[in-house]
Amino acid sequence: MPLSHPRRSALSEQVIAALRNQITSGEWPIGSRIPTEPELVEQLGVARNTVREAVRALAHNGLLDIRQGSGTYVVATSELAGVMQRRFTDSDPNHIAELRSALESSAARLAAERRTEKDLKQLDALLVRREEAWASGDAEAFVAADATFHLAVVAASHNDPMTAVYADLSEVLRDWLRWDVGEELTPETYMDHARLVDAIRAGDREAAAAEAASYPFTCRPDHPSRPSRPGRPGGPDRQQGAAASGG
């Protein structure tokens, strides 16, 4: 990631762009701790103050979270995603479920109409990955696999603005799913998504839309409390006896 002969007048902007690229490219995934300040100074070949200024700028824009005594962590992949997460972090989970249902049902209807063979292969592969993540018993791995699958469904709509909006909401939706799934995966809370893929493959617009629209309401517990963000103390306990989970 070293910068080659940066111009002094644009040095700060170049460092910000370099760090942002590490995030948007997935080199630094959400939840990961970025290299320390001395490490970034060495990697970029710039002064410590310049690195500090760039990190603070990205933290201000919502991409990074500076945690004293722990390090700096990636919390969003774009400025808008960071804004979305801050804006909706304390929203009623029922409202998040309604938003997710509206977006995903519309996207699934379009996906059934517009999907390509490449899209179908991607959905099949991600469905397998989702199953494997569930079988592993790792709740966080399942959340990641499930979220990636649903984003692929939206992307199969080939509606770029809709896909971009959904991607910017991804961490809000992941927080909601973490709350719904809880810390342990249990057999009675499993939900199969094969019917959605089958409907998209068959070009059945209404079946795909209905299937996608139902997930947020059949998988969540009817819990009035707000979902807790990872690492935030005092979050609500998962309601027992909930309907099938796994968004």
Q: What is the pLDDT of residues 197-209, one digit of tens each?
A: 999 999 999 999 9
From CA 188, how far away is CA 210, in angstroms rounded?
A: 23
Q: What is the pLDDT of residues 141-200, one digit of tens each?
A: 888 888 889 989 999 999 988 988 888 888 888 888 887 777 777 766 677 899 999 999
Looking at the domain assignment, is residue 246 inside a domain?
A: no
Q: What's the mean per-residue pLDDT of the chain?
A: 81
Q: Could you tell me which residue, 34 or 2, shows the higher pLDDT?
A: 34
Q: What is the pLDDT of residues 38-59, one digit of tens each?
A: 999 999 999 999 999 999 999 8
Looking at the domain assignment, is residue 234 inside a domain?
A: no
Parent domain of 143 = 80-218
3-state DSSP percent of the chain in helix, strand and coil, to 5: 60, 5, 35
Confidence at 219, pLDDT banded by 50, 70, 90: low
The reply to whether 196 and 120 lie within a common domain is yes
Number of domains in the chain: 2
Residue 181, domain CATH: 1.20.120.530
The reply to whether 66 and 179 lie within a common domain is no
The reply to whether 129 and 40 lie within a common domain is no
The reply to whether 69 and 124 lie within a common domain is no
Single out the residue in 76, 99, 127 at which a domain terminates. 76
The reply to whether 118 and 214 lie within a common domain is yes
